[in-house]
Amino acid sequence: MPSEVHMPKKVVIVGGGFAGLKAARALGNNEDVSVTLIDRRNYHLFQPLLYQVATAGLSPAEISGPIRGILSKYKNVSVFLDNLENVDLTNKKIQVQDRSLEYDYLILACGAKHSYFAHPEWEENAPGLKTLEQATEIRRRLLMAFERAEKETDPEKQKQQLTFVIVGAGPTGVELAGTIGEISRHTLTKDFRHIDPSRTRVILIEAGPRILAAFHPDLSRKAAADLEDLGVQIWTNTRVTDVKSDSVVLGDEVIKAATILWAAGVQPSSINKTLGVPLDRAGRVIIEKDLSLKEHPEVFVLGDQACYLTDKGQALPGLASVAMQQGTHAANQILREIEGKPRLEFKYLDKGQMATIGRRKAIAQISNLKFSGFFAWILWLFIHVYYLIGFKNKVFVIWQWAYAYFTFKRGARLIVDKEWRSKPKPPVS
Catalytic residue check, 175: yes
* CB of 103 or CB of 116, closer to a copy of itself: 116
Q: Residue 244 interacts with a copy of itself (CB under 8 A)?
A: no
Question: Per CB under 8 A, which of residues 108..127 are in contact with a copy of itself?
Answer: 113-114, 120, 123-124, 127
Q: Residue 133 interacts with a copy of itself (CB under 8 A)?
A: yes
Least distance (Å) between residue 18 CB and a copy of itself: 18
* CB of 142 or CB of 324, closer to a copy of itself: 142
Least distance (Å) between residue 90 CB and a copy of itself: 14
Dist. CA 294–CA 306, nearest whole Å: 13
Q: Residue 262 interacts with a copy of itself (CB under 8 A)?
A: no
Residue choice 47, 136, 184, 247 for contact with a copy of itself (CB under 8 A): 136
Q: Residue 147 interacts with a copy of itself (CB under 8 A)?
A: yes
Q: Residue 82 interacts with a copy of itself (CB under 8 A)?
A: yes
Least distance (Å) between residue 72 CB and a copy of itself: 5
Dist. CA 165–CA 255, nearest whole Å: 8
Residue choice 8, 10, 32, 42 for contact with a copy of itself (CB under 8 A): 42
Question: Per CB under 8 A, which of residues 276..295 are in contact with a copy of itself?
Answer: none
Residue choice 8, 28, 69, 373 for contact with a copy of itself (CB under 8 A): 69
Q: Which of 102, 121, 123, 175 is catalytic?
A: 175
Least distance (Å) between residue 130 CB and a copy of itself: 9
Residue choice 24, 62, 259, 353 for contact with a copy of itself (CB under 8 A): 62
Dist. CA 5–CA 131, nearest whole Å: 44
Q: Which stretch binds a copy of itself (CB under 8 A): 12-20, 135-143, 333-341, 360-368?
A: 135-143
Least distance (Å) between residue 335 CB and a copy of itself: 21
Question: Per CB under 8 A, which of residues 155..184 are in contact with a copy of itself?
Answer: none
* CB of 193 or CB of 312, closer to a copy of itself: 193
Least distance (Å) between residue 79 CB and a copy of itself: 8
| Single-letter amino acid, residue 74 | Y
The answer for residues whose C-beta is within 8 angstroms of residue 79's C-beta and 6 or more apart is 16, 36, 37, 38, 39, 67, 68, 71
* CB of 52 or CB of 326, closer to a copy of itself: 52
Contact code string over 385-404 relative to a copy of itself, x by CB under 8 A? -------x--xx--x---x-
* Catalytic residue IDs: 175
